Chain A
């Protein structure tokens, strides 16, 4: 049989829309035809037919057996069109692409998740995955930052996670972003992280957020004594084909879409990525 065209997406129906923040929605997509296997950290190319295609991390864990979920922030032409989607609308999904968080290697260890804004989206499947298989992991710490309380994604789930045994959630908003009644912390993510003084022993870190947050968070982590090979992040790069051919997302000889998007801080330093 001739191999099929890799750029043809599988049609998928919108099976649920959750409003996370004023400009972020989470969509549930039910694939028509066969489901695919994936692991936390991988992404899909989502086609809004007639508008365009863009990469989104899969924001739901395979352990939940639901559809593919993507949290989409309204920004460019594709995401604006995504925000016009209604239940039952048909989109196209290609994937899964890229590597994944090494959650298998992290078994038996504590995990610290640090997310900022929409950067919580790639962490969510990993958090769900670890919570669903909690017996295999140690303590789970979650630090979630946003500009204002209204910009925090997965609000309900954060509460739910916090109510799970041996899972601790810290929420923070940027200084000046707090509103009356805000019960979480106030302060930028790297600063709150430093104040938290997490134990570095037997602990891995997974972080994602806006570039400026990542830069200072990685610095803070190093300051706290975390080893480079224990710290993972997922890179945001302009991606298009998802299969290492279109030439956009390279850092040196590596294609983020194929060789990433998940990298350890050690790998990032080796490839000379600007962080």
Chain B
């Protein structure tokens, strides 16, 4: 189903969604956009390129309570919440959730994640203007990819939006708003899609086998400062720690780039060397995840490239010495 909405009609649609869903959307000041829970349609900012942090915090927050201790025992009982709806998610980030679903779902279901993720709805916005660090088309996605989305919105550039329902649930929420999309709008969306793909500055084919020499990774890792930016802004990085704090068990983000991530109480550290940590992160995404789940665990959002304090570019690490 394809509907065409004016900006005003879009805001009205959001207003309606707010009563049935917990709506998360990009919002923030001029510098820092992040996915936040919104109460009013006006808080949403769809004009951004991409948020600094990914929307993974909606289902996998940087810190969350696993259980509370009551009289020295874990107290159960989860509050039921409205289903979550992410509005204005980029296609790359939507694909990332399909990957996180594989990690947190599977034989041993992680309900901390799945209880938030189940029944959620993803309303994406196509990327008319990819950033210089974007490379979704190199890793199986695209600026207009619909993978993982229920609705894809396209900013037609004239103050109106094309909303494409991609399944029953998606169609249901958009069926009553705006008007049926005309052919001109559909053509426009198609040409925007083509133009966006042409604008991608980075394009490569991920190699089947990555560089493996110690020397290579040592050199590539030299500038790394062991911070957690790349992993924390990444939509597919999912490492975490469990800590006992403030009378609760909490789950917090963690990352294989932190030197202490793998240190054991005995003092032994299997990834003591920086080269091994960087190698682990890249191999996990471009080799091991692929072996286990059949796809690359990188969606090409480019956040790690844009935010790395040392200017490390994951596409260079993947592509070896040739680039």
Q: Which residues of A contact B (CB under 8 A)?
A: 2-9, 11, 47-54, 75-76, 78-79, 90, 92, 210-211, 236-238, 240-241, 243-253, 274
Asked whether A5 lies within 8 Å of B288 as measured between CB atoms, the reply is no
Cα separation A252 to B289 with both chains bound (whole Å): 10
A-B contact count (CB 8 A): 113
A151–chain B nearest beta-carbon distance, Å: 15
Asked if B112 is an interface residue, CB under 8 A from chain A, the answer is yes
Q: Which 10 A-B pairs have the closest CB atoms?
A: A247-B239, A253-B288, A76-B265, A75-B265, A243-B108, A7-B66, A238-B262, A253-B291, A238-B264, A5-B111
Asked whether A7 lies within 8 Å of B67 as measured between CB atoms, the reply is yes
When distances are taken between beta carbons in the complex, the residues of chain B under 8 Å from A4 are 76, 111
When distances are taken between beta carbons in the complex, the residues of chain A under 8 Å from B66 are 5, 7-8
Asked whether B115 lies within 8 Å of A11 as measured between CB atoms, the reply is no
Per DSSP, are chain B's interface residues mostly helix, strand or loop, or mixed? mixed
Cα separation A6 to B240 with both chains bound (whole Å): 14
Those of B102-141 within 8 Å (CB) of chain A = 103-104, 108-112, 114-115
B277–chain A nearest beta-carbon distance, Å: 12
User: B interface, how many residues as a size bin?
Assistant: 35 or more
Q: Given A50-B69, A238-B262, A246 and B240 touching (CB < 8 A)?
A: yes
Asked whether A5 lies within 8 Å of B112 as measured between CB atoms, the reply is yes
Q: Which B-chain residue is minimally distant from A74 (CB atoms)? A: B265
Cα separation A228 to B87 with both chains bound (whole Å): 55
A50–chain B nearest beta-carbon distance, Å: 5
Q: Which B-chain residue is minimally distant from A54 (CB atoms)? A: B265
Cα separation A67 to B281 with both chains bound (whole Å): 40
Binds A, one of B147-155, B170-178, B200-208, B244-252: B244-252
Asked whether B242 lies within 8 Å of A245 as measured between CB atoms, the reply is no
Asked if B9 is an interface residue, CB under 8 A from chain A, the answer is no
When distances are taken between beta carbons in the complex, the residues of chain A under 8 Å from B264 are 236-238
Cα separation A236 to B74 with both chains bound (whole Å): 28
Q: Given A3-B111, A7-B251, A245-B110, A49 and B239 touching (CB < 8 A)?
A: no
Asked whether A237 lies within 8 Å of B244 as measured between CB atoms, the reply is no
Asked whether A253 lies within 8 Å of B241 as measured between CB atoms, the reply is no
When distances are taken between beta carbons in the complex, the residues of chain B under 8 Å from A8 are 66-67, 74, 76
Interface centre among B254, B261, B270, B287 (most CB of A within 10 A): B270
Cα separation A92 to B289 with both chains bound (whole Å): 32
B112–chain A nearest beta-carbon distance, Å: 6
